[in-house]
Amino acid sequence: MPTQLTWLGHAAFLIQTDSHRLLIDPFLTGNPQATIRADEVGADYILLTHGHGDHLGDTPAIAHRTGATVIANYEIVTYLSSHHGIKNVSPQHLGGEVRYPWGSLKLTLALHGSSLPDGSYGGNPAGLLLRLPNATVYHAGDTGLFGDMALIGDEGLDVAILPIGDRFTMGPRDALRALKLLRPNVVIPIHFNTFDAITQDIAPWVDEVVRANLATPVLLAPGQSHTLG
């Protein structure tokens, strides 16, 4: 079965390979875009970009219910273990790559914050570089534009998942500049229109991606999937 990327709204994705379900940044409760509830989503692994509530989201409840392995930076998995009793964790940190039964994950730089819901320190925020059986996928997490995206682009990206909502992350203009550095085949915009503060008119941005021949834009509605390779 080909790998499917399903957008669950905001920064949340469910990736289904032929063997595993990977849940990224599962902010479902309180996410007005969410099309699946936290008590019904399945997961074998939960991958987190950073500790903010709109990314950590329902991780404790889903991890307890499913027994999924939580992958995040050292500070976040330590918090989940000590505050929520989650034992099935895989700590990583920026620059490190780990092989899993479904592929591999490297945590990459992200320019942002990462405090945890109780205000404690969440380490550095990250992007996710996933080498899946059919494709290499970069989920940027929450980040501003940075020049070292060119190094991530050197990895050879099939898909880049980029925030474009502005205010807390890159906005549309910087996301276009990011595409010049990342050089993905496909771009999926996220982290916009969830809340009034990150409202964007997406159509002109999509048009500009096409006009400048930066990537193939794939505009998903929450709940929709993109099939890899």
Does 54 help bind Mn ion (rule: CB under 5 A)?
A: yes
Closest CA to 180 of 221, 149, 216: 149
In the complex with Ni ion, the residue whose CB is nearer, 20 or 112, is: 112
Closest CA to 153 of 186, 180, 126, 187: 180
In the complex with Mn ion, the residue whose CB is nearer, 54 or 174, is: 54
Q: Which does 75 bind (CB under 5 to 8 A by kind): Mn ion, Ni ion, none?
A: none
Contacts with 203 (C-beta within 8 Å, 6 or more apart), sequence order: none
Whole-number CA gyration radius for the chain: 16
Assigned token pair, 25: 């940044």
Q: C-beta of 142: minimal distance to Ni ion in Å?
A: 4
Encoded one letter per residue, x for contact with Mn ion by CB under 5 A and - for no contact, window 126-165 reads: ----------------x-----------------------
Figure out which of the listed residues 142, 186, 191, 226 binds Ni ion, where binding follows CB under 5 A. 142
Does 44 help bind Mn ion (rule: CB under 5 A)?
A: no
Does 75 help bind Mn ion (rule: CB under 5 A)?
A: no
Q: C-beta of 185: minimal distance to Ni ion in Å?
A: 27
**58, 27 Cβ separation under 8 angstroms:** yes
Closest CA to 120 of 82, 173, 155, 148: 82
- What angle separates helix 59-66 from helix 74-84, to the nearest 10 degrees? 70
Q: C-beta of 112: minimal distance to Ni ion in Å?
A: 6
Hey, how many other C-beta atoms are within 10 angstroms of the C-beta on 10?
A: 28
**112, 170 Cβ separation under 8 angstroms:** no
| 2: amino acid identity, one letter | P
Q: C-beta of 168: minimal distance to Ni ion in Å?
A: 6
In DSSP notation, 173-210 reads HHHHHHHHHH--SEEEEES-SSSGGG---HHHHHHHHH
Q: C-beta of 179: minimal distance to Mn ion in Å?
A: 20
In the complex with Mn ion, the residue whose CB is nearer, 142 or 174, is: 142
Q: Which does 139 bind (CB under 5 to 8 A by kind): Mn ion, Ni ion, none?
A: none
d(Cα 56, Cα 150) in Å, to the nearest integer? 27
Q: C-beta of 138: minimal distance to Mn ion in Å?
A: 17
Cβ-proximal residue to Ni ion, closest one: 52
* Count of residues that bind Mn ion according to CB under 5 A: 2
In the complex with Mn ion, the residue whose CB is nearer, 10 or 21, is: 10
Figure out which of the listed residues 52, 106, 139, 226 binds Ni ion, where binding follows CB under 5 A. 52
Q: Which residues bind Mn ion (CB under 5 A)?
A: 54, 142
Q: Which residues bind Ni ion (CB under 5 A)?
A: 52, 142
